[in-house]
Amino acid sequence: MSRRKTLSRRKKLALLAGAAALAAGTAVVMTGTSQASVACDGLAQAVRNNENFIAGQRANPDAQSAARIANREAVIAQIRVQQEAAGCDAGAGGGQAAPPAQPPAEPAPPTGAGGAGGAGGEQGDGQAGGDQAGGGQGGGAAGEVVCAGSTVTLSGEGGAPAASSGQFPAGTRLRVTNLDNGKSTTVEVTSASGSCALLNNAAFEQVREPGKFLIRNARIERVG
């Protein structure tokens, strides 16, 4: 009887150890997939923002619309390359990460496919600067909080730190703070988009978290 009890205890311990190892392995895979999904969500949002901008230009064209559309189409093409590099599932709208065989490497931020501002004055002269030192809040007076609850992503455009907006005219200065890491940047609106605030590559780099292309917890302030 004693030997049977001993064997039974050993079997139970072995089963418990196996279950714990399986659970740990599953958690690692799920964590990697979750991180990749966040990156894919941000890239997909960037594509949607640019597509919305293109749709708006086609619905209400002006003399510069063709140049702006060509610029944004080039930006979308560059973002598609980043989606593929990140292992995003394009068939699901780019918002889901394909199951990785191992934890995915951090994708490089998109380069400005549209060039420094693109044709037709799409990019401004880049007078706006960043306020990223030490995660500062811009060093100026508190601004008016606008677009509460909005997420912030990037346009994929190059050039000096700047933003585009569908709610504020060119020349407006906006301070964008990533509340998840405390970093902020103050930029000037230089073009139109379908978002409250859409940062170009340089501005987004000042406030981003590694591997993320979407700021879900953002504060946007109008400071000028």
SS3 label, residue 175: strand
Condensed to tens digits (0 to 9), the pLDDT of residues 75-97 reads 888 788 878 887 887 554 444 55
pLDDT at 2: 53
Q: What are phi and psi of 3, to 5 degrees?
A: -65, -40
- pLDDT value of position 126: 35
pLDDT at residue 71, as a whole number: 73
Angle between helices 2-59 and 65-86 (to 10 degrees): 170
Q: Which residue range is the domain that position 160 belongs to?
A: 2-222
Positions of the chain with pLDDT lower than 70, given as ranges: 1-36, 90-141
User: Backbone phi, then psi, for 187, in 5-degree steps?
Assistant: -130, 165
User: How many Cβ atoms from other residues are within 10 Å of residue 97's Cβ?
Assistant: 23
Number of domains in the chain: 1
pLDDT given at position 5: 52
- Which residues neighbour 119 within 8 Å (Cβ) at sequence distance 6 or greater? 67, 68, 70, 71
Residue tagged 């007076």 (tokens) = 141
CB 175 within 8 A of CB 141: no
